[in-house]
Chains A and B, each alone.
Chain A
Amino acid sequence: MQDRFKPETVAQVLDVISWGLSNKKPLEIQGAGTKRGIGYPLEVAATLSLSGLTGISLYEPEELVLTAAAGTPLAEIEEVLAGKNQELAFEPADFARLLGSTEANSTIGGIMAANISGPRRLKTGAARDHFLGLKAISGRAEEFKSGGRVVKNVTGYDLCKGLAGSWGTLAVLTEVTLKVLPAAEQITTLIIAGLSDAEAMSAMSMAMNSSCEVSGVAHIPANLVSRSSFSDLAKSGASATLLRLEGIAPSVEYRATQLQTLLGSLGSTKKVTGVDEIWRDVRDVHYFAENQDKAVWKISVPPAQGAIVASAIAAEIPGVEYYFDWAGGLIWAAVPAFNNASQTAIRQCLKSCGGHATLFRAPEEARSTADIFHTLEPGLMTLTKNLKDNFDPSGILNPGRMYRTL
């Protein structure tokens, strides 16, 4: 039977990693395990869950900074921030429904280790851009820290960036310090109905290139809108191009009018204020939460190439469904799981424009055989291995989760 450790102190986390290192027992590193389904399935001796290491140790709203133990539930942090009208501006997603996970309590450590960001990524940056400081334990069973609690800091290498998106393969986060920001007083979404993918690309580009400061730019093709949690949208039957404006009320109203003037000729527009679920659906990929037998790809491309890549994919893979976030720069695509979830076709379609594709959800069989994370050029792979060898020379932290040889 697999051992499962759930330490409640940093010293205990260190004990577990020391034990793993001493006995050459590889460990699966988890927060609450909500994103277990992403990456190669692991064959490990034991699980190290950080979910027992909880608590917000510092929150200074006027300083826009918060420090929490890695296992602190995201929900707890968001609630505390909301009490002061603040938020995590990178809008971390909750993939529980997408991944069919029974665990719903994402931890902040898991969010940062996976660098999970939502629709506001295109304006405010990714999780890594709000990651000011950390404490962690490497695969050498040594504690270290990096960064600090201030936004302007160039003292030493930026290990926060190094660990964000490393999926627990380099070190185990025990504490994170984050930049937080004021939450918007008003959130308004402008919905343009009936645009084709190509028309939507141009509308999204016009919005992004205006001074309207849009903070969410997505396009849901007509075949998916019926799955929206917002009934007006679900009933509309037409594709929906979504443009989000946030800020103080007079500013939002002013910009909404500007945007309507700019884009009104493209299709019928409608203005909706509030209605969080519009963007929750986009962020958490609820459009593909059903049909768990289908595989889901997360594809990052230059935004202006979004529709071109999507149509190339559609030509190759019958039955593909997709929608766009990040003004076209993020394509979520659901495909049949067989044939390694069509990975060859998907990645071929990216060759000419650049970008990368991650197999975000797939049945166990496809997960074991497909290349889940984008294959790296040899030079980058060498550097990646070098980093792994330096931080986790015995390969005890999430071995093989991102790349089979890592």
Chain B
Amino acid sequence: MTGLKMPEPDSGILKRRDEIIRALQQRVPGEGVISDVDEMRPFESDGLTAYHQVPMIVVLPSTVEEVSAVLKYCHDEGIKVVPRGAGTSLSGGALPLEDGVLLGLGKFNRVVDIDFDNRCAVVQPGVTNLAITHAVAHEGFYYAPDPSSQIACTIGGNIAENSGGVHSLKYGLTTNNVLGLEVVLITGEVIKVGGKHLDSAGFDLLGLMTGSEGLLGVITEVTVRILKRPETARAVLVGFSSSEDAGACVADVIGVGIIAGGMEMMDRLAIHAAEEFAHAGYPLEVEALLIVELDGPEAEVDHLLERVEKIAKAHNAVSVKVSTSEEERLSFWAGRKAAFPAVGRISPDYYCMDGTIPRHQLPRVLTGMREMSEHYGLRVANVFHAGDGNLHPLILYDANKSGELEKAEDFGSDILKLCVEVGGVLTGEHGVGVEKRDLMETMFNDADLDHQQRIKCAFDAKGLLNPGKVFPTLRRCVELGRMHVHGGKVPFPDIPRF
């Protein structure tokens, strides 16, 4: 990945930089256009800090009309555009382009409408994930998807990446919690899909936009579903002497029909790092730790906790601790939620991966990772959204040691390839971005990727929005539009008989 190739900068565009700045200033007055290199520096990278590139120009519009005018201009002039929310992407989704306009949506930070009767909130894309919950909490509501970066990440970015969180088995990903969008297309046209009602008319453009990583349009307004907080939530902390036992316990909990609000697993290295950092009261003499959270009506939670305890004991749990207060429940989570920074303390650098696997493949994948760890000479700590199979291996390395970053990246690629090999996928919630772009071919063949790119062609035929992300080879839409015909006909002119 360190040999990452981005689209070749267009020297014709770069030469016109001054003229383009003036044109953009006409469309976004005041301080909305930034062209000083030092002032653009904060935008050169996102959460995937190994890559950085100062953009040609940064534009920070504050109205839909300005977004529309900027995009129309860029479309007419053939200028590339990279949209950006809070810049917390872990896959390089907002990595700027040397010859591109970086379009920051940070000024779109208003909660537009809270509609409890229709159980939805209408917000601008720059509102943070957690701010939505804060805006509706006084009536006992919340917004369900809760990525770990929820204090900082914006809902616009969540839509672009289809963000998840620790509760997604029960409450779904972003895509299951969005009702409507206002989108500005690269042509400058403003469209609305969905609204406060369920299911859109026509094709499900809402579903296509969500998780499209800024390649299809720029989101300027979002309507999300809000939920009433469950009456109560309690968690149980279970230690196991092997990850196999922990995995089998998870399978059994789900197998008997319990859909927990959250089910998180950590391995020994992650447990120790987290405990040292957060003092969550985790048992240290275990190989795997499971946090199972049950939420809902009190009668249900009490009943199910008993069942989960029984199942855990049947799978050789060596320690079982049920939270007896809200304070204790939160302390169980404090360790898990601090796992990334905690690992950051035991290693100069770490590289966070994000594959998803069928849960029963966990032992095989963990064994594979142990072997890879020996092969590369790098340690790996594992945190795992056990309920939905989403694995976050943290590869520990030291960027100051020559060659270690490359080794960490190769290690990461090997893990993701293994995830695909066992029936899983490259990314569960962080997105493809530039990070996993060149691995897409391990999961998809040419026809698969061509059909995905045809979605892109339907929205942005010139390929100006966020090029260089998601697809390993950007094919021109004209080329993709061609039919594979021989002598005017596809190879099957005869009437099928069977």
Contacts and interface: CB of A to CB of B under 8 A. Distances in A.
13 contacts: A19-B496, A140-B484, A141-B492, A150-B356, A153-B356, A162-B208, A164-B204, A170-B203, A211-B231, A300-B197, A358-B201, A380-B191, A380-B205
Contact of A354 (B196, B298, B449): B196
B173 A152 contact: yes
A151 B388 contact: yes
Contacts of A126: 198-199
A146 B451 contact: yes
Contacts of A122: 198
B271 to A, nearest CB: 22
A43 interface: no
B496 A5 contact: yes
Interface residues of B, number: 107
Contacts of A142: 447, 450-451, 484
Nearest to A183: B257
Contacts of A330: 198
Interface stretch (A58-66, A263-271, A316-324): A58-66
A297 interface: no
Interface residues on A, range: 35 or more
Interface stretch (A227-235, A281-289, A301-309): A301-309
B149 interface: no
A155 B355 CA distance: 10
Interface in A168-214: 170-171, 181-183, 185, 205, 208-213
A383 interface: yes
Interface centre among B202, B428, B494 (most CB of A within 10 A): B202
Interface stretch (A74-82, A91-99, A249-257, A335-343): A249-257
A251 B297 contact: yes
Nearest to B163: A154
A148 interface: yes
Nearest to B440: A156
Closest 8 CB pairs of A and B: A161-B207, A182-B257, A18-B492, A251-B300, A386-B458, A356-B201, A302-B196, A304-B117
Contact of B299 (A254, A355, A384, A391): A254
Nearest to B302: A250
Interface centre among A16, A128, A171, A390 (most CB of B within 10 A): A390
Q: Is the interface of B mostly helix, strand, loop or mixed?
A: loop
Contacts of B201: 356, 358, 373-374, 376
B197 A153 contact: no
Interface in B94-123: 115-119
Contacts of A358: 201
A383 B205 contact: yes
Interface in B454-498: 454-459, 461, 470, 480-481, 483-484, 489-496, 498
A377 B492 contact: no
A305 B115 CA distance: 12
Interface centre among B118, B173, B192, B429 (most CB of A within 10 A): B118
A273 interface: no
